[in-house]
Structure 1
Amino acid sequence: MIATRFSVGLHILVLVASDPPGDATSIRLAASIGTNPVVVRRIAGLLSRAGLITVQRGPGGASLTREAAAISLADVWRAIHPERERMIRVHGRTNQECQTGRRIPALLRSRFDAAEAAVLADLARTSIAELVTEAGRD
C-alpha cells in the first residue's frame, strides 16, 4: 500500500538538501510538511537507518550522507518501505475449492509484481537533486 510516508520522506530530503546546514530540524521540517515533529523524526529515522541522512539531536538538524544527485526516489522508497512490503496487495482468503479462487492470487501477483518493478524503475530515474531544482530551491 502506498502511504504518505513516501511523500513525506521525499519532502524531508528535498528540504535537507536545500536548507543551509543546521536548519533542517524536525520542527522546521514539520512546519513545511504540515505535520507533527514526531512524524518527521519517525520517518527521518527510517531515512537514517537506510544511510540517506544523518541526524544530530538538538540544533544540528539533519544532513545528507551523499550528494542529492546520488539519491534516487527508488532509494527513498526502499528506505521507507520494508523489503517485502508490496505496493499492491492481493487478497489472501480465496476459496481453494473454487477454480478461480485457487488461481487468482498467483495470477494477480505476477501482474502486480511487474507493475511494481516498472514503478521502481521509473523512480530510479529521478534524483532528489532534480526535485530540489523543480521545487525552485537550488
Structure 2
Amino acid sequence: MIATRFSVGLHILILVASDPPGGATSIRLAASIGTNPVVVRRIAGLLTRAGLITVQRGPGGASLTRPAESITLREVWRAIHPEGEAMMRVHRPAPEACAVGQRIPGLLRQRFDAAEEAMLRDLGDTSLAQMVSEAQRQAAAA
C-alpha cells in the first residue's frame, strides 16, 4: 500500500538538505510537514537506519550523511519500503471453479511488478539535490 510515508520522508530530506546545520529539528520539520514530531522522528529513524541521515538529539537536528547529489529517490523509497514489500498487493485467487479467476492474481502480479520496477528506475534517475533545487526555484518564484 502506498502511504504518505515516502512523501514525508522526502519532505524531511529536502528540508535537511536546505536548512542550515542544526536547523532541521523534529519540531521544525513537523511544523513544515503539518504533522506531529513523533511521526517525523519515526520516519527519520527509517532514514537513519538506511544511512541517509544522522540525527543529534536536542538542538543538533538532522544532517545528511553524504551530499544530496549522491542520494537518489530510489534509495529513499527503499528506506521507507524495504525490498520485498509489494507496492500494490493482489487479492487471493478465486475458487477453483473459476478457471479465469484462478489466473487473475498471477496476471496482476506480473503487471504490478513491472509497474513498480518502472517507478523504481525513474526514482533512481532523480537525486535529492534535484528535488532541493526545484523546491528552492519554486519558492523563489512564489
Structure 1 portions without partners, runs of 5+: none
The Cα shift of 1:96 comes to 3.0
Q: Please, what TM-score do these two structures have when normalized by structure 2?
A: 0.93
Alignment of 1:74-93 (within 5 A): 74-93=74-93
Measured in 2, the distance between the counterparts of 1:82 and 1:17 equals 23
Measured in 2, the distance between the counterparts of 1:108 and 1:16 equals 38
Q: Please, what TM-score do these two structures have when normalized by structure 1?
A: 0.95
C-alpha contact 2:10 2:76 (8 A) present in aligned 1: yes
Measured in 2, the distance between the counterparts of 1:24 and 1:18 equals 9
Corresponding residue for residue 36 of structure 1: 36
**Identity percentage over the alignment?**
76
Measured in 1, the distance between the counterparts of 2:79 and 2:7 equals 12
* Aligned-CA RMSD value: 1.4
Could you give the per-residue CA deviations for residues 51-99 of structure 1, whole angstroms, max 9, x where no partner exists? 0001111111110011001111110000001222111111125223320
Structure 2 portions without partners, runs of 5+: 138-142
Q: Give, as a single letter, the amino acid of the residue that structure 2 aligns with 1:70.
A: S
Higher RCO, Cα 8 Å, sep 6+ = 1
Q: Give, as a single letter, the amino acid of the residue that structure 2 aligns with 1:47.
A: L
Alignment of 1:89-108 (within 5 A): 89-108=89-108
Establish whether residue 53 from structure 1 lines up as the match of residue 53 from structure 2. yes
Corresponding residue for residue 110 of structure 2: 110
Measured in 2, the distance between the counterparts of 1:98 and 1:36 equals 48
1:23 aligned counterpart, secondary structure: coil
Corresponding residue for residue 120 of structure 1: 120
2:55 aligned counterpart, secondary structure: strand
